[in-house]
Copies of this chain bind each other. A is one copy, B any other.
């Protein structure tokens, strides 16, 4: 280790694509699920394909409890767990930034789509393309973000990646890559900024 010089800070997190399909029911959004699934320890984001049907017990957002339900036949899922700086306010900011980045990816892959972000949701025209939640476990913060791949199985009017002719794996690769780069550059930015004096 001695003698090693890097101009950048150590990588801030690890990204990973899961090959196997996983039916998401909300129980995946728990502490150490990524560790159990992949063996990765520490801050990490995984992506995978699979159906979505969140049970009432696993709904983290209380606003969803009396809603139409959270379901889709096929979604592209992202699960992100952070063990460093686990505050819920920071987690929600990470979630919003992830949504904003997903919109940027969408615009790069489908430039003519009428896509927009509303809070943590992405819409295409009148159709809701994504779902998302940020929450806390006793030892970490957790974020789920998912986009419809197909139109079927959802209880509300939705948009989907297939209609936009976006390949799910390409979208995943792009969003994972941009998120790792952004977290890395955030860590570097924090390490290079001077504090401002109070007395002047």
Chain A residues proximal to chain B, CB less than 8 Å: 1-17, 27, 29-32, 35-36, 38-43, 47, 59-63, 83-85, 87-90, 92-94, 96-97, 100-101, 103-104, 107, 116-117, 119-120, 133-140, 142, 172-173, 176-177, 180, 182, 185-200
Contact = CB atoms under 8 A, between A and B. Distances in A.
Which of A11, A27, A60, A93 counts the most chain B CB atoms within 10 A?
A: A93
B7 A10 contact: no
Contacts of A38: 5
Given A9-B41, A103-B104, A138-B138, A92 B194 contact: no
Task: Count identical subunits in the complex.
Answer: 6
Contacts of A139: 88, 136, 190, 193-195, 198
Nearest to A17: B2
Contacts of A185: 119
7 contacts: A1-B14, A2-B177, A41-B191, A59-B194, A93-B97, A100-B104, A139-B194
Given A193-B88, A198-B137, A199-B197, A17 B3 contact: yes
Contacts of A188: 41-42
Nearest to A101: B100
A17 B176 CA distance: 34
A5 B32 CA distance: 15
B85 A87 contact: yes
Contacts of A43: 9-10, 191
Contacts of A200: 27, 30
